[in-house]
Structure formats: C-alpha cells, structure tokens
Chains A and B, each alone.
Chain A
Amino acid sequence: MDTKNSTAAGSTPAVADTKPILEVDGVTLQYKTKEHLITATYRVGFDVYPADRFVLLGPSGCGKSTLLKGIAGYMKPVEGAIRLKGREISDPGPDRVMVFQEFDQLLPWKTVKQNITFALRNGGKSDNAAEADDIAMEYIQKVKLSGFEDTYPHMLSGGMKQRVAIARGMAMEPDVLLMDEPFAALDALTRLQMQKELLQLWEDTHFTVLFVTHSIEEALIVGSRILVLSPHPGQVKAELNAFDLNHENVGTKEFVEVQQRIHDMLFADRILEDEIQTGDKG
C-alpha cells in the first residue's frame, strides 16, 4: 500500500518506528452461492497499527463483512495475503476474536460467566478453572453486568447480550478484536450507550479493534482511522483519520464536514451508476 509523506501530529509515535500489527495486502476474496461465484473484495490493502480503532466503512455489497471473515480466517483470499504480526493467516484462531452482529453468538446453553470461561478455556487463555472464573468476573464487571453472571443468555436484552459478547472477546486479550456491526441490531439509544462504553473500555488498555459498520456517524464516533470501501466489488476508496472525533462533537461543523465528505465519496458512485442505468438524469 502506498503511503504518502508523513504529516503526523507531534506527541504520537512516528510510522517508521512502529510495525503494523495486521497487514492486508492486495486481498481479493470470492465466495460461491448456488448459482454464482461472487467477488466480494478486489485487491484491498491496508495496515492496522497497535491501538488503532480501525473502521471498515462502506455501503452494503462492499465486502466489508467478507473482509472481516477473511481476516478471522474463515475464508482464504484468492490473491494477496493477510498477515498478523508478520505471520500469514491460515485458520480461525483465538488471537483474532470476532464479535458478531447476531444475538445468537452467545452459546445459549452456557450462563454469562460460562460463556466467557468457555472461551478462555478452549482458546488456550487459561487452563485453570478458578483463574478463568476470576478473569470472567473482571470483564463482566467491566461491561457493567455484575449480578448477571449466572443468567442464561435468553433472559438478557439485546444490548446486554452484545456486552457479554464484547466481554468474552476482550477477556481473550486478542491481538486484534474483530467487530462485525456489533451494534447494528440495537435500538438507537442503546447503540449510542454501547458506543460510549466501547470507547471507555478502549481508554483502559488501548486494545486494537477492527470495526465494521455501514453508518458514517458510527464510524466517525468509534473509529480512529477509517477505511472507506466502494461496492461491487469492494475496493479501497480512501483512508481517513477520525481520532479527534467522538460522540461529544457529533453535529459540530468539523464533524459534519467529514461526514459530508465521506457521504459524497460513497454517493458519487451511486449517481454514476444511476446515470449508466437510466441515461442522463440532470
């Protein structure tokens, strides 16, 4: 990937000093449906550095979820390579924990605590039941679910389920936490709350997170760095900084400007497509 000259702000480390934790290098991903072979992304490349809140943003059909599945190791790229800490990814593994959008990602036959200890024990994070219990309780407390540790998932609300999933993912302390539109199925107020809480959690340890969303606003609030993808097939459109934007300056001039800029980027294609399909439409 071609990076232009550095204009980095003062106090933070320079690009040259730090190695990217995750490198996605010219990746093309394809999958089969019953009748067709679909190219989801075409030669997509980007680097994720430690402590990044890296957002993959794009309209539906830009292959952002497929890309995340590729990084998680569920599918292999047709060309290009995905490297985590310099090592090429071949299989799913607990060094990249995935948080899904679907509420059924919690194992319904395990309580909140057991869901987390299950991950710790099977993911090789802990081989001691008591230790796993302690870690689980710590993270349950972090996501503000103390008192619910022995509850089965079907008794929890959607927001609480997603919190458990996030706690489970964070408890694994993965190299990179992969989040596939984790708040998309929540109501607007809960979503806002969850975005804030995620940022608070990030403040504690600055974990690296790769976050997929189709909401420009969410991308700007949650992300520090945003990769904008174009659809059919997914290709890199731009990579932008957003580390100084969060829920506090939603609606400010600065925020709206970036929002508009991304909107134009994504919308430009849409108009072009319309023109192609329906002829000239002033």
Chain B
Amino acid sequence: MDKIPDVLVRPEFEASDIGKASTADVARKLTLIERISDMHSVRKLSILVIVVIVWEVYSRLSGVSELILPKFSATALALADAVFSEQLLYMVWNSITVLISGYAIGIVIATLLTTAAATTRFGSDILSTLTAMLNPLPAIALLPLALLWFGLGADAIIFTLLHSVIWPVALNAHVGFMSVSETQRMVGRNYGLRGIVYVVKLLIPAAFPQILMGLKIGWSYAWRTLIAAELVFGGSISDTSEGASGGLGWFIFVSQMDLRIAYVFAGLFMVILVGVVVETVVFNKIESLTVRKWGMQAR
C-alpha cells in the first residue's frame, strides 16, 4: 500500500481590498451581428433560399425534363395560375371544411368515450380494448366500406376522418387522465372540486400536454387520410357538377393525369402550406398559451 499523503498546511490569507474588477465586461450586451446570426429564423430562411437556388440552377443547367422536375420558377408560376384562374383556393377550402367537420365531430365522440372511461372501470376497459384494436387500423382502409354504406360523397370521407381522429385523441386523453399525479388529485378534492368541475378545472389542465399531443396526432392522421381519400377516390366523391370543384388531393391527381407536373408541385406546396400553418401556427400558439406557459412541456 502506498503511503497516504498528508494535508499540507499553509498560511491563511485574506484580501483586504479586492477593488472593482477592471474588466470592461462584467456583463456586456452581445453585438447586433452576434445576435442576428444566432437567430433561428434567419438561419432557416437562408437555408430555404439556398435550396430554391440550387433547385432552379440544377433544373436549368442539367436539362432535366419538365415532366420529371419542373423549374422552381415554373412551379411558382403554376401556383399563381392555379390560385388565380383555376380556383385552387376554393378547392383548398373544400378540403378544409370537410376536414374541420370530421375533426370536430371526432373530438366530441372522443370526449364522450374518454369521460366514460374516466368515470367507470368498465368504460376504461372498453376504451382500451377498442383503441388497441382500431388505432392501428388505417382509416383509409375503411373508405371502401364507407363508400358502400354512405355512398359517394362527403359523408363517406367524414366517416373515415372520424375514425382517424377518435382513437388517437381518446387514447392520449385517457392516458393523460390516468397519469395525473395523485397529489394533484388530492389537492383538487381538498379544495372541494367535484364531478364535472373537477374534470374541467383539474383533470383536463393537468393532462393537457397529453391531450394536446393526441389532438396533434389526430390532426396529422386526419390530414393524411383526407389527402389520400381525395387522391384515391376524389373523382367519384367530389361534386363534379360545378366543373371546378373537388379538393386539394383531387387537384393533384388530375394534374398528374394531365401530366402538368408543375401543377402537381404547386398542389404539393399548398399541402405543405396548410400543414405548416396548422402545425406550427395553430398548435404552437395553443402550446405557448398553455403548456409552455405553465412549464409542463408535452413529453
């Protein structure tokens, strides 16, 4: 065994007068350029610009066929043309109204299911059995049945949308309710909350991160289902009597059939735009007003 070293005793000392630190920067504001280059939006925007330039230059120089990859400028023109002379916005609106009705009804049904599950064990068992079975079932697979039962029309699409929304929303809300901490439940009952008030004022806010996650997943399934349904059965479903109607998915499908590839890209842009608006504007807003403000990030 090595010899254990001993503590080395040295004299004490005390600084009688420290004096103010003479560095200029005890706390200095960062310069404007330092801060700008740190801004996410600026860096992301420049990436976007680079991608667009690369796309344009590549499609011009490589001579790639317009049928394979249209130029960015051609795509932008097609988008403008579709918006101004082909009623693209109207088609987007068609899709969105169907989506919103399906989404809203789905949430109502999910709420009923979750309430039943939160109050009785039997309800909870039914919900978990149904979600385990039906959540993995892609809603689009129900479209053939929906067409058979409801005929060609918005009803059939709404039916499949319901299916795509209900299960993820109910599942996540249920899990959220179950994992509200015992302490918070006791606090709520301590202050005399009971029944529906207890659910609204305590359980829902406490489980909100999970509920919000369910709403987001439900939205993304619904959006995917809607586009797929329109793409697949759009022709038979949309009300073609007005000439230019049908939804966004249908627009993409028709453009592809007519080999107007720039218009396919324009339609895809529109899909991305709607998706980005809903996910980053609507849901981010809800998040920053609720869970982020309360410091309970969804996880």
B9 proximal to A (CB < 8 A) = yes
Which of A122-130, A234-242, A245-253 lines the interface with chain B?
Answer: A234-242
Report whether A8 and B10 are in contact in the complex, using a CB–CB cutoff of 8 Å. yes
Q: Are A237 and B27 in contact (CB under 8 A)?
A: no
Within 8 A of A (CB), among B134-165: none
Chain B residues in 8 Å Cβ range of A243: 7, 9
A232 contacts across to B, CB distance below 8 A? 26
Count of chain B residues near A, Cβ 8 A: 23
Q: Which of A18, A49, A237 contacts B15, CB < 8 Å?
A: A237
Q: Is A278 an interface residue (CB 8 A)?
A: no
Bound Cα distance from A205 to B4, whole angstroms: 6
B182 within 8 A of A: no
How many residue-residue contacts, CB under 8 A, span A and B? Answer: 99
- Beta-carbon contact of A42 and B8 below 8 Å: no
Which residues in chain A, 44-78, are within 8 Å of chain B measured between CB atoms?
Answer: 49-53
Q: Given the known A-B contacts A39-B23, A39-B25, A42-B23, are A12 and B11 also in contact in the complex, defined by CB atoms under 8 Å? A: no
CB distance from A109 to the nearest CB of B (A): 17
Q: Is B12 an interface residue (CB 8 A)?
A: yes
> Quick one: closest B residue to A2, CB to CB?
B13
Nearest CB in chain A to that of B26: its residue: A39
- State whether the Cβ of A281 lies closer than 8 Å to any Cβ in chain B: no
Contact A233 B26 (CB under 8 A): yes
B33 at the interface (CB under 8 A from A): no
A39-B21, A230-B18, A237-B15 given as contacts; is B6 within 8 A of A13 (CB)? yes
List residues 201-258 of chain B with CB under 8 A from any CB of chain A. none
Please determine whether B8 and A51 come into contact, CB atoms closer than 8 angstroms. yes
Interface residues on chain A, size class? 35 or more
- In the complex, the answer to whether A12 meets B8 with C-beta atoms within 8 Å is yes
- A3:B8 contact, CB within 8 angstroms: no
**Given the interface contacts A18-B8, A28-B23, A42-B21, does A236 sit within 8 Å of B15 by beta carbon?**
yes
User: Are the C-beta atoms of B18 and A235 separated by less than 8 Å?
Assistant: yes
Give the contacting residue for B13; candidates A3, A9, A38, A230; CB below 8 A.
A3
Q: B293 interface residue, CB < 8 Å from A?
A: no
Distance to closest chain B CB from A243 (angstroms): 5
Q: Measured between C-beta atoms, what is the minimum distance from B125 to chain A in Å?
A: 29
Q: How far is the CA of A15 from the CA of B12 in the complex (A)?
A: 13
A213 proximity list for chain B (CB < 8 A): none
Q: Which of A29-37, A151-159, A175-183 sits within the interface?
A: A29-37
* A15 contacts across to B, CB distance below 8 A: 8, 10
A36 and B28 contacting across the interface, CB-CB below 8 Å: yes
Min CB distance, B10 to chain A, in Å?
A: 5
In the complex, whether A277 has a CB less than 8 A from a CB of chain B is no
Taking a contact as CB atoms under 8 Å apart, the answer to whether A36 and B27 are in contact is: yes
Q: Which residues 160-180 of B have a CB within 8 angstroms of A? A: none
A49–B8 CB distance below 8 A: yes
Q: Residue A163 at the B interface, CB < 8 A?
A: no
Cβ-defined contact, B10 with A38, below 8 A? no
Q: Whole-angstrom distance between the alpha carbons of A205 and B10 in the complex?
A: 21
* Residues of the A chain whose Cβ atoms lie less than 8 Å from the Cβ of B121: none
Contact B10 A225 (CB under 8 A): yes
Establish whether residues A32 and B13, one from each chain, have CB atoms under 8 Å apart when the complex forms.
no
Is B5's beta carbon under 8 Å from chain A?
yes
Confirm or deny: A224 has a beta carbon within 8 angstroms of a beta carbon on chain B.
yes
In the complex, which of the residues A12, A34, A43, A239 contacts B12, with contact meaning CB atoms closer than 8 Å? Answer: A239
B282 within 8 A of A: no
User: Whole-angstrom distance between the alpha carbons of A32 and B25 in the complex?
Assistant: 11
In the bound complex, do residue B11 and residue A37 qualify as a contact, i.e. CB atoms below 8 Å apart? no
Contacting residues, chain A, for B35 (C-beta < 8 A): 35
B226 to chain A, nearest CB (A): 40
Q: Quick check: B12 and A206 within 8 Å, CB to CB?
A: no
Q: How far is the CB of A159 from chain B (nearest CB, A)?
A: 22
- Chain B, Cβ-Cβ closest to A224: B7
B44 within 8 A of partner (CB): no
A214–B37 Cα gap in the complex (Å)? 37
Are B6 and A37 within 8 A (Cβ)? no
The 0/1 profile, CB within 8 Å of B marked 1, for residues 238-272 of chain A is 11110100000000000000000000010000000
Question: With contacts A12-B7, A13-B8, A36-B29 known, is A238 near B15, CB below 8 A?
Answer: yes
Tell me if A233 and B10 are in contact (CB < 8 A).
no
User: In whole angstroms, what is the CA distance A7 to B29 when docked?
Assistant: 46
Q: Do the beta carbons of B12 and A238 come within 8 Å of each other?
A: yes
Q: Which of A18, A37, A51, A224 has the most CB of B within 10 A?
A: A37
- CB-CB < 8 A to B6: which residues of A? 11-13, 51, 206
Going nearest first, the 4 A-B pairs with the smallest beta carbon separation are A238-B14, A42-B21, A51-B5, A49-B8
Given A233-B26, A237-B15, 18 other A-B contacts at CB below 8 A? A6-B11, A37-B28, A37-B29, A39-B21, A39-B26, A39-B27, A42-B26, A51-B8, A206-B4, A206-B5, A206-B6, A235-B21, A237-B18, A238-B14, A239-B12, A239-B14, A240-B14, A243-B7
Task: Identify 16 residue pairs between A and B in the complex whose beta-carbon atoms are under 8 Å apart, listed by A's number.
Answer: A3-B11, A8-B9, A8-B10, A30-B25, A32-B30, A35-B35, A37-B28, A39-B21, A39-B25, A51-B8, A206-B6, A238-B12, A238-B13, A239-B13, A239-B14, A241-B10
List residues of chain A with CB under 8 Å of any chain B CB. Answer: 2-9, 11-13, 15, 18, 28, 30, 32, 34-39, 42-43, 49-53, 205-206, 224-225, 230, 232-233, 235-241, 243, 265
